[in-house]
Chain A
Amino acid sequence: MLPLATNTPLGELPDLLLPAIGETLQMVGVTMAIVVALGTPLGVALHNSARGGLFPRPKLNAALSWVTNLGRSLPFLVLMASIIPFTRLLVGSTIGIWAAVVPMTVAGIPFFGRLVENALREVPREVTDVARASGGSTAQIIWRAQLSEALPGLVAGLTLNSIAMLEYSAIAGVIGAGGIGFLAISYGYQRFDTSVMVATVLVLIVLVQIVQLSGDFAVRRLKRG
């Protein structure tokens, strides 16, 4: 008979943890790349289609805002379960790293969109006026004035978003996504393996701290006065 609880010896932990950390970083990295690529234009559109933006379109703004809220209204676990057919369509599977990337991206884009919108809102309105009066095209104004001035805020948003994705990747462990979350659930929770449980918790804490501290550092460096 198998013992109910087996604690993995300390010496074997690195063999379990290191590949899991790698998978987690991969999930979060790929997700964040897509999130930044798609969430930034969403945030720019949200900001500039609003009253006082570069191309005010109240109806478009309301529609974008509604869709964005939709993406943010479901708890991640529910979202993940509800879009399984979509995930299968996209990556051909509902388990594994890639299957986790789909719901993480779906949750991450509207989140980052709002963060970008907020960061742009923090930029004084005069910056846009100055850029327009200096003869900038819409694209030039967005890139070289709005986003450029908002960069510290954008990096702060990126930090926040990455940490949220780290958390989501752990939740995705429930559907066998791999990574730290999967390890914590399959060993720590289902097998009562206390040493793996403690180790995964410590790894997550350290990862979050590293992301936050480096984010804060970058924000400080990017700010001028």
Chain B
Amino acid sequence: MKSIYLDNAATTKMHSSVMKAITDAEEKYFGNSSSLHTIGREAKAELDKAREHISKKANSKNHKLIFTSGGTESNNFAIKGLAENNKNKKHIITTKIEHDSILNVYKFLERKGYSVTYLDVDKEGFVNLSQLEKAIKKDTLVVSVIHGNNEIGTIQDLREIGKICHEKETLFHSDACQSFTKAPINLEKDNIDLLTIKAHKIYGPKGVGGLFIKEGIKLEPLLHGGGHEYNLRSGTVNVPGIIGFSKATDIIGEKEIEHMTNLRNQLIKGLSDVEESWLNGSKDKRLCNNANLSFMYAEGEAILLYLDAAGISVSTGSACSSNTLEPSHVLRAIGLKQEQTHGTVRFSVGIDNTKEEIKYTVDTVKDTIKKLREMCPYKY
């Protein structure tokens, strides 16, 4: 049976070159990067190389990259670490379309007495900049805005947001888990103070991520211990994993971005003639690999499982697929009514997908929608 993986926003298959780099590193650089002996020092040297290599990808000049166990840890570290060190600032600004890994940090802080402003987004998912400007107060700890949205793919204008934050003397954090290496990020020009990145969305290993921290910003560590990573993240450093992360940052280049953009556009165009369906998010400013579509009179979980039976892996924002029967908060934030969120499917293409696969997918999706609509009691 065919197997077409179109859920690269959930995770990617590790690239063979990354796999090789990791296996080699496990062989050669197994040492503890804190050890003083040669083997330890060699591991340390490779770690520093990887740090430098990844830092260049974000044009980091005045930022320190701290390696973590992934995006969730980086997001927790950024927000809780700041909160712990700035106890007089009890206000946080974020958006209504953040990832759960940071949204639940805010819920936690709200229980501790923090107030959180959730900025509205327009129907394409862009943050309202004038609302942001008005929301910043004297005791605002941080403004945090996701860069490339994991569900609808909208890419925010970090530069403008960062500018406003810095004019108002507030720190700016962004979660770039989905966008790192897929969309340009320039820590300096984009006015970013803290940036979350991770490896497994870009063909790297799971369990490896990082947080860029601008010099001068003090964070309280989440993990206390042996003082690894500049005393900010204790725990023996996963040098082979980080070497794999470093290698992974080379995989998506201009050519790959163009390839994925073409496949994404082929998919969107191919499905554009399905009646009562639409693209969620922005048409132009979106992640090169993300196509999020809604189909009326068909339910997302049913679409997903029919496609799965045909060998195509996708994901859905439908309420019926969640444990709480709640539809996706992102889809609600861009103004979809509940009944409009039901038939929402996210396709996220990868570097290995082909035009033929997309064509097969378009045909299969159309058949599936037709089949489900025939089942639907409503005539439309």
Partners in one complex: no
